[in-house]
């Protein structure tokens, strides 16, 4: 489980989340801050999706055809 949680996508999302929280305490909430939080949410969703796909591959289960991990299986 550790190889999934310590992937670069999750680590990057956590670090950027801390940066956003620090900026939220120091600055006022603007439309740029809202876009940054939306971007962070998308980043977390993509990282979690990649973890789910990797785990499905490791368990021998099929992954969706639109997943980058599915292309890895074809090679």
- Work out the pLDDT band at 35, boundaries 50, 70, 90: very high
Query: Containing domain of residue 40, as a range?
Result: 1-72
Tallying the residues shown for the chain, one arrives at 75
- Work out the pLDDT band at 70, boundaries 50, 70, 90: confident
Q: What is the pTM (predicted TM-score) of this model?
A: 0.75
Q: Please write down the HEC assignment for all residues of 8-62.
A: HHHHHHHHHHHHHHHHHHHCCCCHHHHHHHHHHHHHHHHHHHHHHHHHHHHCCCC
- Structural domains counted in the chain: 1
pLDDT exceeds 90 at position 39: yes
C-alpha neighbours within 13 Å on the C-beta side of residue 20: 18
* Widest Cα–Cα separation across the chain: 49
């Amino acid at each position: 489980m550790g190889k999934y949680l310590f992937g670069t996508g999750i680590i990057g999302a956590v670090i950027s989340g801390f940066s956003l929280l620090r900026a939220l305490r120091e600055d006022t909430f603007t439309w740029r801050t809202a876009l940054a939080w939306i971007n962070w949410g998308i980043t977390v969703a993509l990282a979690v999706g990649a973890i789910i796909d990797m785990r499905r591959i490791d368990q021998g289960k099929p992954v969706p055809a639109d997943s980058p991990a599915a292309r890895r299986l074809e090679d």
